[in-house]
């Protein structure tokens, strides 16, 4: 099992945000995480990423040597003063890769960013910046991909690209946990849907949800 | 008959001991030959300084324990310790300044102990400011703990650098190469005052700590109440 | 840990140089302080070497606060902190990277402050000038280690520069005292009886303390919480 949560609980101050969440995610499966505003979806996702420490419960991540976790939120993570290509170079090197210019340009082409590769990322539109952010994650082929409403505020074209790439990563064997800002539409792409409500997690197959 | 809490007893004992320390200081302890009556402020100054420094040590220990155990009790204790320490350090400075005014004819001069106390006050005032920031509770506790540890580890450096700085002389009364210049009656008075201030300090600390824990509990109850109102149909709120 | 730190430091230096704003603010503030202090001199009076050294290090301290605030602000604009924490390297490499970038910027700023102090405060290099590189490196190492550790408190913009200086300056006092005495000894011949080697020991002790604190405590201060 790629990811396993056992009875995870998290408090903010004395306020319980998550109370006993358990789930399992196998490689190549996509889980859609739904719930109302402030239900703690982002917190749960950050716990899965290992970014936030749960107050109790167990988190198990089974990653092979060299496998990494990718996190794609609605914020773009770009450095506006650097060009798109320089942004990617920076992240690639931090992730321990030594990519050639050609490989990065190929990735940028796939995401429709090639004409702007050497432009300052500061002039990118929100959609372009978010596609660059997507490229940052795809670079290191994450074994677990965590998505926190990445499509918020995107144009149709960028959203399509994003969804194509998510599907592609899933087919390539990545486990995906996805918080979507429009769960009804996106449920079709998921294998399972989880609902976070009052700090508790309930699971159901995607077909029933759709 | 209402039960008397141990804390109230402690506070009472501390108050009585502190009141009793005054006749002991003024009547029992002999008059110091060179410095005269002003030397008696030393019996207040030193206990304040010792317990103040001990408070900061307590912040250090509580901070370490919080980082290891992640139990918010230690965070509350660290906060209580820092507050108590700041009060005592401020009083140490005031008594020290009065002493300096009379014996050296100046309110402030560079002296390693006084300067260290002043610098420590600044450090822990900064610590309290950080605690007052609008952080989430977990983050505030983590940052405060890290600061509480760094601050205390900095103390020896502060002291040695203050000692190395060009300076005037401070009477070295208890420790150091010229130790032993204290009459037995003076020593006894000093220990009495140390104990009196110690009891008072401990009562203050426990009181402040209980206040902090009560505040935490209140926040919890309020959060639970808010949750209950938002989710009327739910059965199992723990 | 070293490699990611170097990559990060290089990126930070590039960004701050391109942005220009953060760095020039720090430089200008330092220069302004030196100039304003030069007003404290009456006609026909001379600044002592100690006064000049104090002004120099106070300018450096303010510069340090602005530098580390700017360095950590770089990761806040577009949510980079979250994903920076996910790189396959210890969190401490971020501390090290920011410290290295800060060290380079501090040295660059001092390259401007040294002549400024010599000119505005009318000082000469008449003491133990051979100690200057050692003093600058040792003091700046401590400033970088401490600044990088505590600058991370400003994460999420909860703490402003003013607060950062209130936390940092008292902790930095041992370093400041040492740097002032040694700086004075470089500007004019130090008194024979003063034990200047001990001041170097204080500097080294400070560097070690904050290097260790950075390595152990940084993960508690810098994390994914908002």
pLDDT mean over C121-146: 93
Cα dihedral across residues A145, A149, A154, A157: positive or negative: positive
Q: How confident is the model at residue B177 (pLDDT cuts 50, 70, 90)?
A: very low
C78–A78 CB contact, under 8 Å: yes
Neighboring chain A residues of C88 at a CB cutoff of 8 Å: 68, 95-96
- Rounded to 5 degrees, φ, ψ at C79 are 75, 25
pLDDT tens column, C203-223: 999 999 999 999 999 999 998
Q: For chain B, report the end-to-end CA distance as a whole number of angstroms.
A: 36
- Reported as a single tens digit per residue, the pLDDT across C51-65 is 999 999 999 999 999
Full strand arrangement of the beta sheet holding A192-197: A69-72, A144-148, A175-179, A30-34, A192-197, A200-205
Half-sphere exposure of B46 (CA within 13 A, CB side): 20
pLDDT range class, residue B125, cuts 50, 70, 90: very high
**Nearest chain C residue to A86, by CA:** C11
> If you write DSSP's letter for every residue of C81-97 in order, what string do you get?
HHHHTTSSS-THHHHHH
pLDDT at B175: 46
Mean pLDDT of C155-182: 86
Q: What is the three-state SS of B160-179? A: HHHHHCCCCCCCCCCCCCCC
* A83 phi, psi to nearest 5 deg: -75, 165
Tell me the CA distances in angstroms from B11 to B17, B23, B207, C78, one per residue in order: 10, 20, 9, 53
- Residue with more model confidence, B101 or C136: C136
- pLDDT bracket for residue B176 (50, 70, 90): very low
Backbone angles phi, psi at B190, to 5 degrees: -60, -45
Amino acid C85: pLDDT: 94
CA distance C222 to chain B (A): 9
Residue of B nearest to A11 (CA): B138
Q: What's the pTM value of the predicted model, to 2 decimals?
A: 0.91
Question: Is residue B149 a contact partner of residue C221, using CB atoms and an 8 Å limit?
Answer: no
* Cβ–Cβ contact C224 with A under 8 A: yes
* Whether B125 and C194 lie within 8 Å, measured CB to CB: no
- Report pLDDT for A3: 94
What is the pLDDT averaged over residues A158-175?
93
Please give the distance of CA B80 from its chain centroid, rounded to a whole number: 9
Contact residues, chain B to chain C, C-beta under 8 Å: 67, 119, 122-123, 125-127, 129-130, 133-136, 138-139, 142-143, 145-147, 149-151, 153-154, 157-158, 160-162, 164-166
**Cβ atoms of residues C106 and C60 within 8 Å:** yes
């Amino acid at each position: 099992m790629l990811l396993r949560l056992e009875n995870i609980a998290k408090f903010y101050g004395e306020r319980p945000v998550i109370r006993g969440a358990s789930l399992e995610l196998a490689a190549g499966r996509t889980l859609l995480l739904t719930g109302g505003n402030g239900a703690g979806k982002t917190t749960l996702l950050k716990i899965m990423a290992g970014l936030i420490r749960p107050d109790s419960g167990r988190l198990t991540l089974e990653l092979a040597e060299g496998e990494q976790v990718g996190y794609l939120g609605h914020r773009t993570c770009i450095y506006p003063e650097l060009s798109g290509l320089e942004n990617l170079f920076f992240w690639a090197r931090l992730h321990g890769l030594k990519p050639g210019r050609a490989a990065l340009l190929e990735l940028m082409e796939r995401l429709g960013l090639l004409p702007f590769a050497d432009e300052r990322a500061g002039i990118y539109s929100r959609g372009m910046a978010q596609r660059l952010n997507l490229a940052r994650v795809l670079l290191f082929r994450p074994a677990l991909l965590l998505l926190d409403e990445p499509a918020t505020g995107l144009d149709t074209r960028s959203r399509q690209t994003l969804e194509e790439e998510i599907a592609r990563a899933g087919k390539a064997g990545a486990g995906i946990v996805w918080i979507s800002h429009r769960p009804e539409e996106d449920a079709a792409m998921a294998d399972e849907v989880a609902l976070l409500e009052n700090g508790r997690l309930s699971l159901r197959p995607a077909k029933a949800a759709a | 008959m209402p039960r008397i809490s141990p804390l109230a007893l402690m506070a009472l004992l501390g108050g009585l001991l502190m009141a009793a320390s005054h006749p002991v200081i003024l009547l029992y302890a002999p008059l110091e030959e060179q410095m005269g009556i002003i030397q008696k402020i030393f019996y207040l100054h030193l206990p304040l300084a010792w317990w103040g420094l001990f408070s900061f040590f307590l912040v250090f220990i509580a901070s370490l324990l919080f980082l290891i155990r992640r139990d918010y009790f230690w965070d509350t204790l660290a906060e209580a310790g820092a507050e108590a320490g700041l009060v005592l350090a401020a009083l140490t400075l005031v008594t020290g300044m009065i002493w300096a005014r009379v014996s050296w004819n100046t309110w402030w001069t560079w002296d390693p102990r006084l300067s260290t106390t002043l610098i420590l006050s600044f450090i822990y005032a900064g610590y309290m400011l950080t605690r007052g920031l609008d952080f989430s509770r977990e983050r505030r506790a983590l940052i405060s703990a890290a600061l509480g540890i760094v601050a205390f580890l900095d103390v020896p450096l502060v002291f040695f650098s203050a000692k190395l700085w060009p300076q005037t002389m401070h009477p070295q009364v208890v420790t150091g190469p010229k130790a032993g210049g204290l009459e037995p009656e003076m020593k006894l008075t000093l220990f009495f005052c140390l104990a009196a201030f110690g009891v008072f300090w401990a009562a203050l600390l426990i009181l402040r700590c209980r206040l902090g824990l009560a505040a935490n509990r209140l926040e919890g109850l309020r959060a639970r109440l808010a949750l209950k109102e938002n989710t009327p149909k739910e059965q199992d709120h723990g | 840990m070293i490699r990611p730190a170097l990559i990060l430091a290089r990126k930070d230096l590039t960004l701050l140089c391109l942005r220009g704003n953060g760095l020039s603010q720090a430089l200008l503030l330092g220069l302004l302080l030196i100039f304003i202090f030069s007003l404290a001199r009456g006609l026909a009076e001379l600044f002592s070497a100690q006064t000049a050294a104090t002004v120099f290090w106070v300018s450096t301290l303010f510069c340090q606060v602005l530098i580390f605030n700017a360095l950590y602000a770089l990761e806040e604009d577009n949510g980079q902190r979250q994903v920076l924490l996910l790189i396959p390297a210890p969190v401490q490499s971020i501390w090290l990277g920011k410290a290295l970038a800060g060290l380079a910027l501090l040295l660059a700023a001092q390259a401007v402050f040294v002549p400024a102090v010599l000119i505005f405060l009318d000082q000469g290099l008449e003491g133990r000038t051979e100690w200057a590189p050692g003093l600058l490196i040792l003091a700046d190492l401590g400033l970088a280690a401490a600044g990088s550790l505590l600058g991370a408190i400003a994460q999420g913009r909860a703490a402003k520069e003013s607060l950062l200086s209130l936390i940092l300056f008292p902790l930095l006092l041992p370093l400041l005292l040492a740097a002032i005495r040694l700086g004075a000894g470089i500007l004019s011949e130090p008194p024979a009886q003063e034990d200047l080697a001990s001041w170097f020991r204080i500097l080294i002790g400070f560097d070690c303390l904050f290097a260790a604190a950075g390595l152990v405590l940084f993960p508690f201060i810098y994390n994914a919480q908002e």
